[in-house]
Amino acid sequence: MSKFYVTTPIYYINGLPSVGHAYSTIIADALARYHRMKGEEVRFLTGTDENSQKNVEAAERAGMKDDIQGYLDQMAARWQEAFDELGFTHDRFIRTTEADHAQAVEKFWKAVEKTGDIYLGEYVGLYCKGCEAFYGEADLVDGKCPLHKTVPEAIKEKNYFFRLTKYRDALLEHIGKHPDFVVPASRRNEIVSYIRDFMTDISISRASMKWGIPVPGDEKQRIYVWFDALINYLTGAGYGSDDAACAKWWPADLHIVGKDIIKFHCALWPAMLMSAGLPLPTRVLAHGFFTVNGEKMSKSLGNVIDPVQIARDYGNDVLRYFLMREIRLGEDGDFSLDRLAQRYDGELANELGNLAHRVLTMTEKYFDGTVPKRTDGFLAGAWDGYHLAMEELRVHDALEVVWKLVRESNQLIEERAPWKLAKLKEEKMLADTMYVLLETLRHISWMLVPIMPDTADRLLEKLGLAPAKEFSQAVEVAWRWGELAPGAKIEKGEPLFPRREGSQAAEARGNS
């Protein structure tokens, strides 16, 4: 059986999750669900990056400077609650303050040291706390960090360094040979130019910090947070604690990251793995960033969107649908509540919701709520297009395939006008039309399993079927045309996407 090991970035917990953090995790969750649906063995890892100076400062601000761990415990618990409420299906929520992670980091450090890739040097650099990274003068804009617009601190100390430049050629060769290592291609070019022209050895310890994992053999120094954080992907596989699990899960099949952290994931991390003698992850997907109503989402602008609130207002599936439909995976986008409401009214309530409602109502009316006799279908190519899009990490295109079916079905209703067929007693044509519509709805449900899991199960239930994960045969059977059994009872129930009070569609309906 093939396996799929997918990860998200681990998040800093100096605040609560924003819709940006939810975005990385939603994509990972959808892909995890897709591979589970295919019957693969899946491991989905997410969690929190806790050995960061940012968290320490947040603890101090919260009046918990003497109990940093207590602060982290509280925050990590709140993140876990949020992720549970958002319905994420991670197999582990890793925290980098956990004991098995410290163990993995120690083992990894020693492996890299043994290769001869760690040396002691003097570090003089400009450190941005926001990024947890050093900058060269040339990287700054008006002397400030380009991301945080703050003046970085000048730091001089004795540090341990990692011989990153030793891996320059090997990294370029790997990326050249594996065009899929960095997706999308635009990011690949960016990373190649960084590796070729700008990459330097990096300092991987801090003498000035008190929080973090101690350097093995030199307890006065703490390991640089990024060196420790990246290793979480190995800890999550079992490295350092469970060799059999590690052999099974490593290398990761997919790291999902935002475009802001690709240098760490596509240069530093693979070089670290090469140094430790471990295989590299198969793919790194860099997704884009989104603004909120055209502006950068930031605490100082006060426009940070809380994903849990949106999920409470609209439902988890609507948030998932919006993010995966509005933003082409890999590109930048914009988040706007108006756009979300528009897509809810137009695509979810009107197109999908209405389709289900009409088909189920007509089945009740003309066939006493039972599925009519089987007939041939018209789904040619839809599943192929859907799978290809999911495999190539074009989730937006997979949704496009689904919506094509939704629209074609609505069009079929208009063209065939079942109410006219009923009047004219065109029974065969009426039965064929209704079977095609019901069976297409069943296929739509299955395609939505990874993307809108609750909606998929509700729709299956309306069609008189069990939830997707209770399907007892090989999933390919569920994807075949004609699996909806004639004579089965449907269950219309409540609308999938009730009209919102005050929405234009609701007003239009009220006026008619």
Binding site residues for Zn(2+), as ranges?
128, 131, 145, 148
DSSP secondary structure letter of residue 94: E
93 interacts with ligand MSP by CB under 6 A = no
Which window, 3-11, 66-74, 385-393, 489-497, contacts ligand MSP (CB under 6 A)? 3-11
Q: Which two tokens stand for residue 107?
A: 């083992």
Give the separation between CA 8 and CA 22, rounded to whole angstroms.
10
Interface pick for ligand MSP out of 4, 12, 88, 481 (rule CB under 6 A): 12
Which window, 10-18, 186-194, 352-360, 399-407, contacts ligand MSP (CB under 6 A)? 10-18
Site for ligand MSP in 248-277 (CB under 6 A): 257-258, 260-261
Tell the smallest beta-carbon distance from residue 189 to ligand MSP (Å). 19
Strand order through the sheet with 133-135: 133-135, 118-128, 153-162, 202-203
Give the separation between CA 20 and CA 146, rounded to whole angstroms.
19
Count the neighbouring beta carbons within 10 Å of the beta carbon of residue 248.
14
C-beta closer to ligand MSP: residue 235 or 440:
235
C-beta closer to ligand MSP: residue 105 or 360:
105
306 interacts with ligand MSP by CB under 6 A = no
User: Would you list the DSSP string of 19-82?
Assistant: HHHHHHHHHHHHHHHHHHHTT-EEEEEEEEE-S-HHHHHHHHHTT-TT-HHHHHHHHHHHHHHH
Binding mask 334-373 for ligand MSP (x = CB under 6 A): ----------------------------------------
Site for ligand MSP in 30-89 (CB under 6 A): 49
Tell the smallest beta-carbon distance from residue 148 to ligand MSP (Å). 11
289 interacts with ligand MSP by CB under 6 A = yes
Tell the smallest beta-carbon distance from residue 9 to ligand MSP (Å). 4
Residue at shortest CB range from ligand MSP = 20
Interface pick for ligand MSP out of 290, 344, 386, 435 (rule CB under 6 A): 290
C-beta closer to ligand MSP: residue 42 or 257:
257
Beta strand 214-215 with 133-135 is unpaired
20 interacts with ligand MSP by CB under 6 A = yes
230 interacts with ligand MSP by CB under 6 A = yes
Sequence-distant (6+) residues with CB within 8 A of 504 are 345
Tell the smallest beta-carbon distance from residue 58 to ligand MSP (Å). 12
Task: Say if residue 251 is preceded by a cis peptide, omega within 30 of 0.
Answer: yes
Question: Of 374, 375, 353, 363, nearest to 448 (Cα)?
Answer: 353
C-beta closer to ligand MSP: residue 299 or 404:
299
204 interacts with ligand MSP by CB under 6 A = no
C-beta closer to ligand MSP: residue 12 or 386:
12
C-beta closer to ligand MSP: residue 282 or 503:
282
Give the separation between CA 278 and CA 250, rounded to whole angstroms.
9
Interface pick for ligand MSP out of 5, 11, 79, 162 (rule CB under 6 A): 11
Give the separation between CA 493 and CA 139, rounded to whole angstroms.
59
C-beta closer to ligand MSP: residue 23 or 367:
23
E strands, 275-396, are 283-287, 290-292, 333-335
Tell the smallest beta-carbon distance from residue 257 to ligand MSP (Å). 5
Distances (CA, A) of 163 to 145, 168, 338, 469: 25, 10, 49, 48
- Using DSSP's 3-state secondary structure scheme, residue 156 falls into strand
Residues of each annotated binding site:
128, 131, 145, 148
Tell the smallest beta-carbon distance from residue 299 to ligand MSP (Å). 11
Interface pick for ligand MSP out of 297, 429, 475, 505 (rule CB under 6 A): 297
Which window, 17-25, 82-90, 164-172, 187-195, contacts ligand MSP (CB under 6 A)? 17-25
Count the neighbouring beta carbons within 10 Å of the beta carbon of residue 84.
11
Question: Of 348, 293, 368, nearest to 500 (Cα)?
Answer: 348
Tell the smallest beta-carbon distance from residue 197 to ligand MSP (Å). 23
125 membership: H or E segment, kind and range: strand 118-128
Give the separation between CA 251 and CA 266, rounded to whole angstroms.
14
DSSP secondary structure letter of residue 183: E
Size of site (CB under 6 A) for ligand MSP: 20
83 membership: H or E segment, kind and range: helix 68-85
Tell the smallest beta-carbon distance from residue 286 to ligand MSP (Å). 9
Tell the smallest beta-carbon distance from residue 345 to ligand MSP (Å). 25
Q: Are 323 and 26 in contact (CB under 8 A)?
A: yes
- Using DSSP's 3-state secondary structure scheme, residue 254 falls into strand
Site for ligand MSP in 118-137 (CB under 6 A): none
Count the neighbouring beta carbons within 10 Å of the beta carbon of residue 77.
11
Tell the smallest beta-carbon distance from residue 19 to ligand MSP (Å). 7
Which window, 224-232, 421-429, 451-459, 471-479, contacts ligand MSP (CB under 6 A)? 224-232
Tell the smallest beta-carbon distance from residue 78 to ligand MSP (Å). 14
194 interacts with ligand MSP by CB under 6 A = no
What residues form DSSP beta bridges with 92?
Answer: 45
Q: Are 463 and 434 in contact (CB under 8 A)?
A: no
In the complex, which residues of this chain contact ligand MSP (CB under 6 A)?
A: 9-12, 18, 20-21, 23-24, 49, 229-230, 232, 257-258, 260-261, 289-290, 297
